């Protein structure tokens, strides 16, 4: 069911917990009715991250909000932190790892939407309803 929200708070959306991170998809076709892109906040604990993977049909940008990590796109690896942004073209292998002692937080945007639904449907995902989160 599409709610077509225009103002979205973290408590309005579910929390998705995986062994590599915690996500809140704040803009999806189901939350806002957006058809052009999806966006969410990702939190990686120290030493955590996701393995190399691709999104064959969606471009992705990551905008880093806090912490420090290692971003790999194809065969290039760089240190990333608050204020950095990366663009990942469709079908290009990439990974993100938290290399610091504090959480790595970033905004992930997919264009067009779709990969966020695949992440949600992962067999290892634990879904917490809006207003609930791990530990409460």
Quote the CA–CA distance of 54 and 79 in Å, as a whole number: 20
Tell me the backbone φ, ψ of residue 67, rounded to 5 degrees: 85, -170
| Strands (DSSP E) found in the chain | 15-18, 21-27, 38-44, 49-53, 59-66, 68-73, 76-81, 85-88, 94-98, 104-111, 126-128
Looking at the predicted structure, is the pLDDT value of residue 1 above 60? no
Name the DSSP letter for residue 120: H
97: confidence class by pLDDT, cuts 50, 70, 90: very high
**Average pLDDT of the segment spanning 81-109:** 98
Residue 135 pLDDT greater than 80, yes or no: no
What's this model's pTM, rounded to 2 decimal places?
0.93
- Using alpha carbons, select from 46, 9, 15, 12 the residue that is nearest to residue 136: 15
Distance between alpha carbon 82 and the CA centroid of its chain, in Å? 15
Domains belonging to the chain, first-starting first, are 36-128 (2.60.120.10)
Kindly give the pairing relationship between strand 104-111 and strand 38-44.
antiparallel
Question: What's the pLDDT tens digit per position in 7-63?
Answer: 999 999 999 999 999 999 999 999 999 999 999 999 999 999 998 999 999 999 999
Q: Binning pLDDT at 50, 70 and 90, where does residue 4 land?
A: confident
Residue 5: per-residue pLDDT: 82
Share of the chain above pLDDT 70, in %: 97
**Averaged over 80-87, what is the pLDDT?**
98
């Amino acid at each position: 069911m599409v709610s077509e929200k225009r103002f979205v708070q973290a408590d309005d959306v579910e929390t998705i917990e995986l062994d590599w991170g915690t996500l809140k998809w704040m803009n999806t076709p189901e939350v806002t009715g957006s058809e052009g892109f999806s966006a969410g906040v990702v939190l990686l604990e120290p030493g955590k991250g996701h393995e190399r993977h691709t999104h064959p049909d969606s471009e992705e940008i990551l905008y880093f909000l806090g912490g420090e990590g290692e971003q790999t796109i194809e065969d290039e690896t760089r240190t990333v932190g608050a204020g950095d942004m990366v663009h990942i073209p469709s079908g290009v292998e990439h990974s993100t790892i938290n290399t610091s002692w504090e959480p790595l937080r970033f905004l992930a945007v997919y264009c067009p939407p779709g990969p966020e639904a695949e992440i949600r449907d992962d067999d290892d995902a634990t879904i917490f309803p809006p207003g609930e989160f791990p530990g409460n």
